[in-house]
Amino acid sequence: MAQRIAIIPGDGIGKEVMPEGVRVLEAAARRFGLDLELEAFDFASCDYYLEHGQMLPDDWFETLKDFDALFYGAVGWPETVPDHVSLWGSLLQFRRRFDQYINLRPCRLLPGIQSPLAGREPGDIDFYVVRENTEGEYSSVGGRMFEGTEREIVIQETVMTRHGTDRVLKFAYELARSRPRKKLTSATKSNGIAITMPWWDERVAAMGERYPEVAVDQFHIDILTANFVMHPDWFDVVVASNLFGDILSDLGPACTGTIGVAPSANINPEGTFPSLFEPVHGSAPDIAGKGIANPIGQIWSGAMLLEHLGHREAADAVVDAFEAVLTEGDRRVLTPDVGGTGTTEALGRAIASRL
């Protein structure tokens, strides 16, 4: 039976990089004989909002829930729709309603890309950040009282549940176990945040009993961010709460060079609902319409999608293909953010034909 993938380009360069992501998915399907059925949607974009007064149709949940995966570009066009409206009305709805409780980002230095960290070569940086994506510090529990007076009070509570914490830890341990180094690092702050974070550490230790082959360490979040910069080679899989993971999952990819190549996945591991795969970058209004956005973030997200759907070999072949094109370093093919003079389409075509 065909696996169904919803194609949602969104806004700005999302509409430019998505065709290249699709081109490479289709090339992978041809080479490996995969039965993928792609269906495109124009909602979850600011153009849709301007026409309909909302980011999504009323029946979006029913429309999307039986897809095997969602392939997303980027959302946001602040000139016409405020960012909190476009983001909360689309991407955050998908993450919540489809219980995509894992946010997964590989942080890997690719050939031909200059790391902002001096002296780092491909192979030196190769780890994953696993972020809890549904609870923790990002709760709506709290409020304001005595607004505008000298007594003004504002409270926002962190909410961590055993269910929510254990399931993200399980995913992280499983991922660590599947990798050659089998190493897990936990982000904590149990010195300062003295209620939830010591509890988080206890859950890390308890889950670790089931994975004796995985070596575990932990750092307070402040020194952990410093170590991402000073010793990125220390890390293999890093697991973190929602807030800490948010920070680490931007810092990690930043240590590997251009934002245009970083991919991410929002995963519902049980497959009760579709998972969503998207580049880390946004809609980049400053370069939208010029045809020069780097499509590798979208293409690499497509590789993560293939792996999630069980096509490991095809996923690896996509990664090999864009690494080969980057290694070749033909400036006429590479986009300007990685030192070339090429276009989004030229780079996408080069990767697809290599595949």
> 137 or 246, CB closer to Mg ion?
246
Span of 51-59, 166-174, 287-295, 318-326 interacting with ligand NAI by CB under 6 A: 287-295
DSSP element (H, E) containing 206: helix 196-208
Q: At what angle do helices 14-32 and 344-354 cross, to 10 degrees?
A: 10
Smallest gap from residue 244 Cβ to Mg ion (A): 11
Cβ-proximal residues to 170 (8 Å cutoff; 6+ apart), any chain: 207
Smallest gap from residue 310 Cβ to ligand NAI (A): 25
Report what 287 binds from ligand NAI, Mg ion, none; CB cut-off 5-8 Å by kind: ligand NAI
Of these, 8, 70, 287, 352, which contacts ligand NAI (CB under 6 A)?
A: 287
DSSP element (H, E) containing 238: strand 237-240
Smallest gap from residue 243 Cβ to Mg ion (A): 10
Of these, 24, 91, 238, 299, which contacts ligand NAI (CB under 6 A)?
A: 91
- The rounded distance, in Å, linking the Cα atoms of 29 and 35 is 7
Q: Which residue is nearest to Mg ion (CB)?
A: 246
Q: Does 346 bind ligand NAI (CB under 6 A)?
A: no
> 158 or 258, CB closer to ligand NAI?
258
Of these, 20, 126, 135, 337, which contacts ligand NAI (CB under 6 A)?
A: 337
Smallest gap from residue 351 Cβ to ligand NAI (A): 14
Span of 74-82, 114-122, 192-200, 299-307 interacting with ligand NAI by CB under 6 A: 74-82
Q: Does 246 bind ligand NAI (CB under 6 A)?
A: no
Smallest gap from residue 14 Cβ to ligand NAI (A): 7
> 44 or 216, CB closer to ligand NAI?
44
- The rounded distance, in Å, linking the Cα atoms of 113 and 130 is 24
Buried b (16+ CB within 10 A) or exposed e, 136-168: bbbeeeeeeeeeeeeeeeeeeebbbeeebbebb
> 36 or 255, CB closer to Mg ion?
255
Report what 246 binds from Mg ion, ligand NAI, none; CB cut-off 5-8 Å by kind: Mg ion
Place of tokens 């607004």: 147
- The rounded distance, in Å, linking the Cα atoms of 91 and 75 is 8
68 DSSP 8-state letter: S
> 27 or 296, CB closer to ligand NAI?
296
Span of 107-115, 133-141, 183-191, 290-298 interacting with ligand NAI by CB under 6 A: 290-298
> 124 or 250, CB closer to Mg ion?
250
3-class DSSP state of 96: helix
> 27 or 287, CB closer to ligand NAI?
287
Question: Per-residue DSSP letters for 253-318?
Answer: HHTTS-GGG-EEEEE-TT-SS-EEEEESS---TTTTTSS----HHHHHHHHHHHHHTT-HHHHHHH
Smallest gap from residue 266 Cβ to ligand NAI (A): 10
Going by C-alpha positions, the residue among 7, 5, 39 that lies closest to residue 20 is: 7
Question: Per-residue DSSP letters for 267-283?
Answer: E-TT-SS-EEEEESS--
Rg of the chain over all Cα atoms, to the nearest angstrom: 20
Q: At 270, list the tokens.
A: 């049980």
Smallest gap from residue 241 Cβ to Mg ion (A): 14
Q: Does 297 bind ligand NAI (CB under 6 A)?
A: yes
Chain contacts with ligand NAI (rule: CB under 6 A): 13, 17, 74-76, 78, 83, 87, 91, 259-260, 278, 281-287, 293-294, 297, 337
